């Protein structure tokens, strides 16, 4: 493996000794992020709190440009813009003046092991004691009930008393998952939260999920983070979803079925999964996909109020740029 330290550089005006922070939030995408939970939360953290870039990674070494082609702008007879991708380490300050680090950008396509080693080098150099990640996963749960989440960590000490929803499963890997795994091998503290997003809302921005993730982040780090903007967006989105669901009998029936399953579980029935009152009723991947397609197709009709011609996209989240 090539030298991990050659994969990143500190900004010219950054002295690593002055950039220390105890918490690192790793936000680098992944195989799935239902409700765009991670993306919405990252935008919110950078928009609602002062920040500065302290380090950047050499994206040319880790990204597949043909797999995720950057956007370019053509104006009349010439190229006028290029949205160059970036992997950046931000030093963010919460409302009480406490700093934390936020690693954001596209998930690396190449050199995962070297990238993980590079992040570990930064963790050591900047005094990080806890690395946290969040993302959304699609679940057969209704939007009308509180969102659950699956916490995971390198040590049971970080989790406390929890009741796992899943047993042993094998899933497609992500860089952030590998990072947590490697940090655990090194004896470092790292944890993550997978927010359970209603599967019929998985392809749209769902601020409720980002708000749950934000509260989880605050709970484990003690950071004083603004939540007003996300809370407001969640209320707006909730109203829009309720209106759209009420206008579609099939979706209303689907939500009603999910509500009964959820309530049965919460009533204390001993079942193997939060997804359904009986394991035989667990929806398959094809069934979930069909539900999602049906839900989105409902909002592409003339009765839909969504401004998105391709389907229900939900109200826009608070605008910000990385």
The CA distances from residue 37 to 71, 109, 138, in Å, are 23, 21, 11
The answer to whether the Cα torsion of 56, 60, 65, 70 is positive or negative is positive
pLDDT digit string, tens, across residues 154-204: 999 999 877 777 788 898 999 999 999 999 999 999 999 999 999 999 999
The CA distances from residue 273 to 4, 66, 280, in Å, are 41, 40, 11
pLDDT digit string, tens, across residues 65-81: 999 999 999 999 999 99
First to last CA, the chain: 30
Q: Is residue 304 predicted with pLDDT exceeding 70?
A: no
pLDDT digit string, tens, across residues 119-160: 999 999 999 999 999 999 999 999 999 999 999 999 999 998
CA distance 272 to 279: 7
Q: Given this model, what pLDDT does residue 19 score?
A: 94
In terms of pLDDT, which residue wins out, 261 or 60?
A: 60
In terms of pLDDT, which residue wins out, 280 or 58?
A: 58
Strands 88-93 and 51-57: antiparallel
Phi-psi region of 120 (alpha: psi -120 to 50; beta: other; left: phi over 0): alpha
Structure tokens at 55: 């380090």
Q: Is residue 302 predicted with pLDDT exceeding 80?
A: no
CA distance 130 to 159: 13
Count other Cβ atoms within 10 Å, centred on residue 13: 9
pLDDT band at 261 (very low <50, low <70, confident <90, very high): confident
Kindly tell me the burial class for residue 84, based on how many C-beta atoms sit within 10 Å of its own C-beta (0-12, 13-18, 19 or more).
exposed
Q: Given this model, what pLDDT does residue 247 score?
A: 86
CA distance 21 to 14: 14
Q: Given this model, what pLDDT does residue 12 score?
A: 83
In terms of pLDDT, which residue wins out, 31 or 37?
A: 37
Q: Given this model, what pLDDT does residue 287 score?
A: 57
Q: Given this model, what pLDDT does residue 272 score?
A: 44
Cα angle 181-155-275, degrees, rounded to a multiple of 5: 80
Average pLDDT over residues 274-288: 47
pLDDT band at 101 (very low <50, low <70, confident <90, very high): very high
Average pLDDT, the chain: 86
Contact 202, 35 (CB under 8 A): yes
In terms of pLDDT, which residue wins out, 166 or 319?
A: 166
In terms of pLDDT, which residue wins out, 297 or 219?
A: 219
The CA distances from residue 139 to 170, 284, 292, in Å, are 17, 11, 11
Q: Is residue 35 predicted with pLDDT exceeding 90?
A: yes
With a pLDDT cut of 90, the percent of the chain lying above it is 69
Helix, strand and coil percent figures for the chain, each rounded to 5: 40, 20, 40
Average pLDDT over residues 90-102: 98
Q: Which of the 8 DSSP states describes residue 81?
A: E
Q: Is residue 281 predicted with pLDDT exceeding 50?
A: no
How many residues appear in the chain? Answer: 322
* Orientation of helix 249-266 relative to helix 285-298, angle to 10°: 130
Contact 41, 134 (CB under 8 A): yes
CATH of 4-227, picked from 3.40.50.200, 3.40.190.80, 3.40.50.10900, 3.40.47.10, is 3.40.50.10900
Q: Is residue 297 predicted with pLDDT exceeding 70?
A: no
Q: Given this model, what pLDDT does residue 275 score?
A: 42
Q: How many CA atoms lie within 13 A of 15 on its CB side?
A: 2
Task: Sketch the domain layout of the chain as residue ranges.
Answer: 4-227
């Amino acid at each position: 493996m090539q030298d991990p330290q050659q994969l990143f550089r500190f900004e010219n005006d950054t002295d690593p000794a002055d950039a220390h922070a105890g918490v690192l939030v790793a936000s680098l995408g992944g195989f799935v992020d239902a409700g765009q939970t991670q993306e919405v939360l990252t935008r919110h953290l950078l928009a609602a709190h002062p920040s500065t870039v302290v380090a950047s990674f050499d994206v040319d070494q880790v990204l597949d440009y043909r797999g995720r082609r950057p956007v370019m702008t053509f104006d009349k007879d010439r190229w006028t813009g290029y949205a160059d991708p970036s992997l950046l380490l931000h030093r963010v300050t919460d409302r009480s003046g406490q700093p934390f680090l936020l690693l954001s950008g596209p998930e690396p396509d190449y050199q995962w092991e070297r990238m993980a080693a590079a992040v570990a080098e930064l963790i050591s150099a900047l005094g990080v004691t806890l690395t946290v990640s969040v993302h959304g996963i699609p679940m057969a749960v209704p939007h009308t009930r509180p969102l659950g989440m699956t916490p995971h960590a390198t040590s049971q000490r970080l989790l406390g008393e929890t009741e796992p929803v899943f047993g042993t499963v094998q899933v497609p890997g992500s860089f952030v998952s590998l990072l947590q795994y490697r940090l655990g091998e090194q004896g470092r503290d790292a944890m993550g939260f997978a927010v359970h997003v209603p599967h019929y809302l998985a392809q749209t921005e769902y601020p409720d999920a980002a708000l749950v993730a934000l509260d989880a982040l605050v709970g484990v780090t003690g950071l004083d983070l603004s939540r007003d903007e996300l809370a407001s967006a969640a209320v707006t989105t909730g109203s829009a979803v309720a209106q759209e669901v009420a206008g579609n009998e099939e979706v209303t029936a689907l939500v009603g079925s999910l509500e009964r399953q959820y309530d049965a579980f919460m009533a204390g029935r001993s079942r193997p999964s939060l997804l359904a009152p009986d394991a035989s009723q667990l929806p398959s991947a094809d069934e979930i996909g069909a539900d999602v397609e049906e839900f989105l197709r409902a909002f592409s009709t003339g009765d839909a109020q969504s401004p998105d011609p391709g389907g229900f996209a939900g109200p826009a989240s608070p605008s910000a740029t990385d």
